[in-house]
Chains A and B, each alone.
Chain A
Amino acid sequence: MGSSGSKLEKALGDQFPEGERYFGLENFGNTCYCNSVLQALYFCVPFRDQLLDHASRTKVSGDADDNLLTCLSELFTQINSQKKKTGVIAPKRFIQRVKKQNELFRSYMHQDAHEFLNFLLNELVDILEREATASSKPTSGQVHPDKLANGTANGTANGNHHHSVVTWVHKIFQGTLTNETRCLRCETITARDETFLDLSLDIEQNSSITSCLRNFSSTETLNAEDKFFCDKCCSLQEAQKRMKIKSPPRILALHLKRFKYIEQLGRYKKLSYRVVFPLELKLCNTTDDAPGSEAEYSLFAVVVHVGSGPNHGHYVSLVKSHNHWLFFDDENVEIIDESVVQTFFGSTQEYSNNTDHGYILFYESLEQKH
């Protein structure tokens, strides 16, 4: 157990970052989808900090309401407080909680890492929103200042109005898209904003993530069956629609849609396309007046799908911590060179020996004003 750990310690030598822990996660039978996402999130520093903070607060208040949030913060605390610098941890309680919460993840089938990320973040948001509304009457003396305008939150309190509370999950992952529709008859532009915690991008062979983002925001014409109801014209009209980023998130999570439903086959197929992603990125698809539209992002984690099909395979993750890149494969942790990241771009041919493909990319904004 400790052997791989000590190897990693040796590799890092005196460069081992102060206070950092690199622990593999035990696999409980096809739980690599979970492990790979957990590692990416553990090394998402603002996210980890919030969870460690949450754990220390619930400990003080003795409030041991068992939910996904407490299980995750316990797990992160457990990793963070290990005496050893490296090793393996069994995320047993957390996995049990995930399976209890969602029957989708109960089976031993291969699961989708992106679905899991989605489920986890939304679950955390729900718990935090419930906590925030419940704690309008201060419970533990210190209410976490993550609540937007108390008044409005209270006003719509009955649990059915989401997004009235801005949780720290929102502050970390949430961005805003603006959906602009221009009626081709009266030229009126209707803008509708929507928030996102990650962006799911269609991919093309031999393209870049920049190109995928550009396509995501390219102008689409609504016509024929798909006309737009213009409020001004009071009728269905042809229109042009495009979706741009109005407010870039602090942590940009990009999901590459590698699993595509092929109608002729009646099943999902994995797209092994080569999609290059740079270590630094700027968003090319923001609105002109978006604050932070020139903000630079830095890649810090990649969830990688290994395998040629959608229903089987394996997940691993690449993580950047203190300027070192690490490779997490369930129990195993290895240090890798930065240049190894590019071996996970995908393949230029459909049938290739290389089946390790970047699936979810995590970029962190280098601008501090969030």
Chain B
Amino acid sequence: MAAPNSQSPSVRTHFKTPEGRYKLSHEKTHPTSLLHYSHGKTITQVTLAHLKDKPLQTPSTSSSSSSTGGVGARFSAARLLGTGNGSRGLVFGGGNGFSGRLTGGAKSTTVSTGGAGVSNGPLASSYDGEGTFLIFNVGDAIFVSDCNSQDKDPIKCLHFGNANPICHTYDPDAKDGHDLLIGLTSGDVYTASLRQQLQDPGKKLIGAMHYNKDGAINSSRCTSVAWVPHSDGLFVVSHADGNLYIYDKNKDGSGDVPFPPVKDLAQFSVAHARSSKSNPIARWHICQGSINEIAFSPNGMYLAAVGRDGYLRVFEYAKEQLTCGSKSYFGALLCCAWSPDGKYVLTGGEDDLVQVWSMEDQRVVAWGEGHNSWVSAVAFDPYWVAPPSGESGESVTYRFGSVGQDTQLLLWDLAMDEVVVPLRRLGGTLSGSPAFREPGAQSARWESVQPVGILHPAPVRKEVPKLAPIMAHRVHAEPLSSLIFTKESILTACHEGHVKIWDRPGVQGCSPARNSDSADVSSKEKLQPAKSGLSQFKQ
């Protein structure tokens, strides 16, 4: 299917796939009046957060009860804008049907208070139930929208002031309530409780832990953040200078002792903190130039990183070893995502291509051609159920999506017997005998692994099987930046901070996350342990 790059400003509100019609359900955006663009524009990323029913023990907003504040990682002051705001929140609270809005009253108060003391409006204070929220950054702010509401406007706005938040993620299984992880342009990193933010009427992040304060350890831009799966409090932050840091949110640790300078910028190297109390606990130097995105495999065993130098690198996280990887056709890689079974890694980048990297074959098994500009986000559809296959029963089909700066959403089907088997010629099924592999392809068995750290050069154009999208649709007017598959819908977001929710065929109504306790898998949330048995795949 061709991917027309329509010049028409109109964006159709549905698109068709073999399985049916996807319909635009509703949109989420932000009131531009609340933005401070003083630090330049940023690109919006979206995180989907599912708050569970059981209210977690949230840290109090008052600093007196906060015992977790450490030496290097301090609490950011919970600057409440006066008790008036707080009580106002309580007055309106309790009404679940009332969804707090930022506009309206907020706009008028902007004038009277000179923009500084804009209230977050009458927030419903009872965010102690379950709910699904969209977290997205625009300018110097993080916005939170209620997924279960049709309301366009966010329920919460958090301003950061000195720097812009540009990457964030959410851990639904966080033990101590600090489930939200945010990275800033200044290199600063925060963890905080989402529920606590929702319950607070202020416009500042409260009860947060602050790491790499003022870029003390690394002053380059944060580019991607991820919770380490099943680690209870470890998280990884990648930076624009090619380094990533591993932090332990349970450690007070000071950042006073930075790491020694990287000796060879061209080589992968790991440095551990000298003191067991230090935070971050380790620095990995990955590449020259920016790391653009990182993603953990669903079982947490592997960490994928893509960057400015065009390489996808896959590391065995616990062993701190480079396992495999390959180069883009040309240009930087901008995004990456794992298949739910951990067998494939998608990458997208400045060559307008979506590449499918096979962990078993250790090679690029397909190129998706169809974008007319750079590919900014990729994701597998974890809810896709392959149509019943023919006699063999071995045709594994994956569905994945990609969004690009061409404003298009593309959907792709990857049929293993079409793509992988011809490549192997004799190999047969996915778990076929390594004896039949082509020269150059690595063994699929991790026990018999190749020399550590093999990075493949860019594939030759003629030699890579090509995929064509099953669907191409211009979903926004602006270049796209984010893509999330939920059980009921596909979420797309553009650079400017507009989010669209596209209902899957057969889904009625418009709540993309109604009562679903399903894994919310997003391009920004690959770190979440997959809950439906996916993590039990052998590796």
B310 within 8 Å of A (CB atoms): yes
Task: Report the bound CA distance from A284 to B331 in whole Å.
Answer: 13
Contact stretch, chosen from A106-114, A120-128, A205-213? A205-213
The answer on a CB contact under 8 Å between B460 and A294 is: yes
A276 CB, nearest partner CB in chain B, Å: 6
Name the contact of A278 in the complex, choosing from B7, B330, B462 (C-beta under 8 A).
B330
A136 CB, nearest partner CB in chain B, Å: 43
Task: Report the bound CA distance from A339 to B351 in whole Å.
Answer: 17
A270 within 8 Å of B (CB atoms): no
List which A197-229 residues lie within 8 A (CB) of chain B. 204-208, 210-211
The answer on a CB contact under 8 Å between B405 and A282 is: no
The answer on a CB contact under 8 Å between A280 and B407 is: no
Name the contact of B405 in the complex, choosing from A206, A279, A294, A296 (C-beta under 8 A).
A206
Chain B residues whose C-beta falls within 8 Å of the C-beta of A281 in the assembled complex: 330-331
The answer on a CB contact under 8 Å between A207 and B310 is: no
A311 within 8 Å of B (CB atoms): no
The answer on a CB contact under 8 Å between B479 and A274 is: yes
A206-B5, A207-B372, A211-B352 known; A279 and B406 CB under 8 Å? no
Chain A residues whose C-beta falls within 8 Å of the C-beta of B478 in the assembled complex: 206, 348
A115 within 8 Å of B (CB atoms): no
B332 within 8 Å of A (CB atoms): yes
Task: Report the bound CA distance from A338 to B332 in whole Å.
Answer: 13
Interface size, B (range):
20 to 34
List which B188-210 residues lie within 8 A (CB) of chain A. none
B69 CB, nearest partner CB in chain A, Å: 35
Chain A residues whose C-beta falls within 8 Å of the C-beta of B289 in the assembled complex: 338
State how many residues of chain A have any CB contact under 8 Å with chain B. 22
List which A231-281 residues lie within 8 A (CB) of chain B. 274, 276, 278-281
B461 within 8 Å of A (CB atoms): yes
Chain A residues whose C-beta falls within 8 Å of the C-beta of B5 in the assembled complex: 204-207, 211
The answer on a CB contact under 8 Å between B373 and A276 is: yes
A274-B479, A278-B332 known; A205 and B462 CB under 8 Å? no
The residue in chain A whose Cβ has the minimal distance to the Cβ of B3 is A211
The residue in chain B whose Cβ has the minimal distance to the Cβ of A298 is B330
Hey, what's the 0/1 contact readout for A272-313 against B, CB within 8 Å counting as 1? Answer: 001010111110100010000110100000000000000000
Chain B residues whose C-beta falls within 8 Å of the C-beta of A280 in the assembled complex: 310, 330-331, 350
Chain B residues whose C-beta falls within 8 Å of the C-beta of A274 in the assembled complex: 405, 479
List which A156-211 residues lie within 8 A (CB) of chain B. 204-208, 210-211
Task: Say whether chain B's binding surface is mostly helix, strand, loop, or mixed.
Answer: loop
A210-B352, A211-B406, A280-B310 known; A204 and B331 CB under 8 Å? no
B37 CB, nearest partner CB in chain A, Å: 11
Chain A residues whose C-beta falls within 8 Å of the C-beta of B350 in the assembled complex: 208, 276, 278, 280
B311 within 8 Å of A (CB atoms): no
Task: Report the bound CA distance from A281 to B7 in whole Å.
Answer: 25
A300 CB, nearest partner CB in chain B, Å: 15
List which B292-349 residues lie within 8 A (CB) of chain A. 310, 329-332
A204-B7, A274-B479, A276-B405 known; A282 and B373 CB under 8 Å? no
B374 within 8 Å of A (CB atoms): yes
A206-B405, A206-B406, A210-B351 known; A296 and B374 CB under 8 Å? no
The answer on a CB contact under 8 Å between B352 and A206 is: no
Task: Report the bound CA distance from A280 to B350 in whole Å.
Answer: 9
List which B399-457 residues lie within 8 A (CB) of chain A. 405-407
List which B470-508 residues lie within 8 A (CB) of chain A. 477-479, 495
The residue in chain A whose Cβ has the minimal distance to the Cβ of B474 is A206
A248 CB, nearest partner CB in chain B, Å: 13
B178 CB, nearest partner CB in chain A, Å: 31
Residues of B within 8 A of A (CB): 5, 7, 240, 289, 310, 329-332, 350-352, 372-374, 405-407, 458, 460-462, 477-479, 495
User: Can you name 14 A-B pairs with beta carbons within 8 Å?
Assistant: A204-B5, A206-B372, A206-B406, A206-B479, A208-B352, A208-B372, A276-B350, A280-B350, A281-B330, A282-B351, A284-B461, A294-B460, A296-B330, A296-B458
